[in-house]
Amino acid sequence: MSVEGKGTPVSERDIYHIPAERVLLRTADVYQTEAEDDVTSYSDKLLAIVADFKNSGEPEGANVQAMVGKSKRGEVACRLFARINAETGVIEAAGFKARGCLAMTACASAACLLIEGKGVEEALAVSLDDIRECVGGVPSGKVNALHFAACAIRALVGDFLLRDGAGLAQLDEAVPCDEGSVSCIMAEHCSLRQSRLEVRLEEEAQANERAQAAALADACDLVRERTACGRLTSRADWNALVPAHLMPDEFEALLMDLLEPVSAEAASSVAAVAAPAPASAFANRGVGVPKLFGADEGAAPAAMPETKRALPREEAREDEEELRVPEGYELREVDGELALVQMDAHPTPVVPTPDAHGIRELRGKACMYLYDSAQMKPAFAHWAFLAAEDDPLAAFAACVREDSRVYPRPMPAASLENAPFSWTVEQIEAAWEQASALDEHADLCRIQASNGDVYFYSSEFLTEDHARSLAEWESVDRHLNV
């Protein structure tokens, strides 16, 4: 069969007649899968395009491609290729590969004809009706071919924009996608839909990474702020910082990974939980830090001083009239001089770098605690840990034995009234009564100086006479000699 006046006869192309009034295309670029198509239902214009298309396959230098199609009741697919000038955005050449029926072949070829030589914005303006007019219409049962060809043009432009570095927002603005449209519903496979999903997932992953880094940086800052107020930091304190895409356990694991490089260096600090800490800067004042020297337990973290990097030659401009920066521009240093530079419409978000240097970990029975070793000594961190564990008996016994072993001396009961414990006299007495009733704490003893001050000591490290003499010196004799 041939179409009169429409170029190369069909008989000279790779087309088989089964039977004589039907055609079946099988070439490298075009594959007709619907052998029962009735040629008489197609327009002369459409058959002429099928008989004489010269834009099949990938054009030389093709740098973008797209595919739209479906697989139900026989595969139908439209693949477009193009060579687009990256500087001008002009589609210099376009080609296609098609699989399905004659209508799909004609619509794919027509799509290439309609966009070749046009800019990408003009190509996006090519509509389904333009393709229908170009092929002289299609049978009612083949209208999907029009949709696929029109969508393939949009997918081709989308592929160009993505290869040119466009983000999801730019892509959505240039090539909006309505997933509820007829064309989108009809297409089971759409390269633009898949690319859009991949970009969305990638951008979400990048946003999650930035949120995660920012949360870790905030957690490190929180640890330092609380340390400055004499407090340890636990999960309950940083839970509000956990990004939406993470579970608290996952965030805690990431925070621990951040601390891993310094964990070996901090081994002695971690060991302070199991063993009494060495003497601290306030060793001569007993356990805890008197309010004169430390922050109140309920005090808010001290405000962090704001720092601002001075712009080059800023001081020289102090007496000059204030510069007014036009909207969309910013002042930057260029070759040592201040210059107005146009701001990027889509600036790359800055990913903060968490700084865990100096942050140490103390593991408790149910949770872990963090503190900044640059602001808190191991001795106080050990006391704060005992207070945070909320086990008055264990804290009481550990502090009494620590003072008796390390210094050695009896521990003034009043020292537990200091931070980080801040116990009342009643709480201290309750802890002593609980300890004195247990055999495992039989080494803990209670004495009083002549002025009534109460002390506790461990008989494993101090004799009673030695403990009494030290208590008397601390409460009475020392003051008489000042």
| pLDDT computed for residue 399 by the predictor | 94
Q: For residue range 114-152, what is the model confidence (pLDDT) as tens digits?
A: 999 999 999 999 999 999 999 999 988 889 999 999 999
CA-only gyration radius of the chain, Å: 40
pLDDT higher than threshold 90 for residue 12: no
The helix/strand/coil state of 361 is: strand
| pLDDT computed for residue 316 by the predictor | 39
Q: For residue range 212-256, what is the model confidence (pLDDT) as tens digits?
A: 999 999 999 999 999 999 899 999 999 999 999 999 999 999 999
Determine if the pTM surpasses 0.85.
Answer: no
The helix/strand/coil state of 364 is: coil
Contact predicate 393/423, CB 8 Å: no
pLDDT higher than threshold 60 for residue 187: yes
Q: For residue range 411-439, what is the model confidence (pLDDT) as tens digits?
A: 999 999 998 999 999 999 999 999 999 99
> Which one of 3-17, 251-265, 368-382 scores highest in mean pLDDT?
368-382
Buried b / exposed e over 123-143, threshold 16 CB at 10 Å, is: bbebebebbbebbbbbbeebb
Output 191 or 343, whichever has higher pLDDT.
191
Long-range contacts of 182-188 (CB under 8 A, 24+ apart): 182/147, 183/128, 183/147, 183/148, 183/150, 183/151, 184/151, 186/70, 186/144, 186/147, 186/148, 187/68, 187/69, 187/70, 187/147, 187/148, 187/151, 188/69, 188/70, 188/71, 188/72
Q: For residue range 284-329, what is the model confidence (pLDDT) as tens digits?
A: 445 665 554 444 444 433 433 333 333 343 443 444 445 567 776 7
Structure tokens at 295: 């922050």
| pLDDT computed for residue 177 by the predictor | 83
Q: For residue range 356-371, what is the model confidence (pLDDT) as tens digits?
A: 999 999 999 888 999 9
pLDDT higher than threshold 50 for residue 276: no
Mean pLDDT along residues 13-20: 40
Domains along the sequence of the chain with CATH = 10-187 (3.90.1010.10), 224-293+357-388 (no CATH), 391-482 (1.10.10)
